[in-house]
Amino acid sequence: MKITIICLALLAIILHSSCDRVENPVVVRDTSLDWTLYPDADTSTYPWPTWTQNTNTAQRVLLEDYTGHTCTNCPAAAVEAKNIEDANGGNVIVMSVHASVGGGFQQPSLPDYPLDHRTDAGNAYAIAMNMTLNPSGTINRVITNGEYSAFSSDWSNLVNTQLARTPDFNIQCAFNYYPQTNGLFLHLETEVLNDVQGTYDIVSLLVRDTLVADQEFPQGLHEEEYDHHSVLTDNISDIWGSPIINGQSTAGTKLYNNYTYVVPSSDTDSSYNINNLSVITFVSDRDTYEVKQVIKTPLSE
């Protein structure tokens, strides 16, 4: 897959002098979008987003459910994760990560478990945060009792603690998708809500909302059509994201990032139907991995 990244705040200011980009423009870096994914040969016609003021006041929480298709206790943990997500009105976002240190529960195994749901991003996260067990999870990647990993029985309380925080960032996402090229153009606005000090990245990941595939249950039961929820599928940004802040940033600053990405064809795998795909985007502390704010953007047409 071809992934290219660009931060075009200056260009956005020129193209949209009437929008609130002008008030707090911050240039992160300039590279090139993959314009071969834009069907119109005239790139000047590209429909850049016009951003409106983000009025969100809520702290949102990323619950990463580290799972595996031969982990017999993982389905119960997945139910707990989905219940927490459903109970919090969009402020809790679940991402199922098929990974662990060693990858024992994620290995394909014929004939019952032929698919490989592992990703480079998931493997990297599992190693960095020492996710040795499945099921286990991270809540905004906050360290509790010396560990990133938390058992599902603790997730609800940890989520409530994070929801009570005052957010330091807001994120908005806009996109254009061109089925002729399977090209996704992703645009992000990150607003700093309070003065911050540190190093921060913006990360965008592709998830499949539903992935129907094999799953092992206790007592050796095998479910052929198990509904895996919000499955980490690929990274759109770099695995650890794009740097947006290195040092101090003041409240009111707005930063812009843009990506192009080739969506896998649904002709060979129907789970890649655009209506089954979403993008999870979050701001994280580069040094601690802690997630500071997160949003989920469905790509449904």
Our measurement of the distance from residue 86's CA atom to the centroid of its chain's CA atoms, rounded to an integer in Å, reads 18
Contact by Cβ (8 Å): 136, 150:
yes
Domain boundaries of the chain, sorted by first residue: 3-16+23-37+58-298
Distance CA 137, CA 107 (A): 19
- Dihedral (C-alpha) 200, 206, 207, 211: value to the nearest 10 degrees? -150
Answer whether 230's CB lies under 8 Å from 244's CB.
no
This prediction has a pTM of 0.90
CATH topology of domain 3-16+23-37+58-298: Immunoglobulin-like (2.60.40)
The 10s digit of each residue's pLDDT in 12-60 is 333 333 333 333 344 343 347 999 999 998 999 999 999 999 999 999 9
Per residue in 195-252, pLDDT (tens digit) is 999 999 999 999 999 999 999 999 999 999 999 999 999 999 999 999 999 999 999 9
Q: How far is CA 47 from the centre of its chain?
A: 24
pLDDT of res. 32: 72
Judged on CB neighbours under 10 Å (0-12, 13-18, 19+), 111 is exposed
Reported as a single tens digit per residue, the pLDDT across 47-81 is: 999 999 999 999 999 999 999 999 999 999 999 99
Q: What is the pLDDT of residue 41?
A: 87
Percent of the chain predicted with pLDDT > 70:
89
CA geometry: angle 101, 107, 110, nearest 5 deg: 165
- Confidence grade of residue 3 (pLDDT, cut at 50, 70, 90): very low
From CA 93, how far away is CA 163, in angstroms rounded? Answer: 12
Q: For residue 301, name the pLDDT band (cuts at 50, 70, 90).
A: low
